[in-house]
Amino acid sequence: MSKQEKIVSMFNDIAGTYDITNRVLSMGIDKTWRNKACRLAFDFYGKNEIEKIVDVACGTGDMIDYWIKIAKDNRIKLDNIVGVDPSVGMMDVAKKKLPEVQFIEAGAASMPLEDSIADIISISYGIRNVVQRQEAFFEFARVLKQNGLVVICEFTKNEKKNPIDYITDFYINKILPTIGGLISKNKEAYTYLPNSIDEFLTTENLCKELKIAGLEPIYAKAFSMNISTLIIARKI
């Protein structure tokens, strides 16, 4: 089994408890992060009608729910939204929550979508789990319309500069795996999370990879004691 297949299998195993575990571990703050990402993206895009949003590594559909709600709040006409994920288990949960949405089983680096059809592509806390990350960015550029946006929410690797950074690190590496393991009955999955952050890129290097694919970062900021980073890039 390849590394990517192992990651997908792990998400299939924890799909049933994924939402409740996320809410507990983030203390609900992840809702604020997603809300901010959607609102800023709509502001940057500046259109009242959006033909298609593609949410990659959509998981249980959390981000899709925010796109739909915030488009409605801002009176933006959203014609179509599609969820893409290689984990059937996660999408089964999403389909129950969002029966009106189309979901496609596929990886980020190879999506069965036409060229230049998406206004926005989002990936929330998922790019870290994509083994072929640079290939995925090229795929995003292919599927995006000219001037379309990529919206990335992620736990990026950050230097520890002050005491708060060490407190955050202790929570992610010690507390999170224990609580996540108790709720999901799969401690291995929630041990993978901090390890995957440690092995991941800095925000600066992630932006470099986006630029290689023709996606120009226009916004990059860390939130909540540098736990979560939001990057928005435009297809040039």
Q: What residues are designated binding site?
A: 60, 85, 124
Nearest to 231 by CA among 66, 74, 44: 44
Q: How crowded is residue 221: how many other Cβ atoms within 10 Å of its Cβ?
A: 13
DSSP 3-state of 232: strand
Quick one: DSSP state of residue 173?
I
Buried-state track 112-134, b at ≥16 Cβ within 10 A, e below 16: ebeeebbbbbbbbbbbbbbeebe
Residues within the annotated binding site for S-adenosyl-L-methionine? 60, 85, 124
Q: What is the largest CA-CA distance in the chain?
A: 48
In which region does residue 231 sit, left (phi positive, over 0), alpha (psi from -120 to 50) or beta (all else)? beta
Angle, CA 21 vertex, CA 28 and CA 186 arms, to 5°: 160
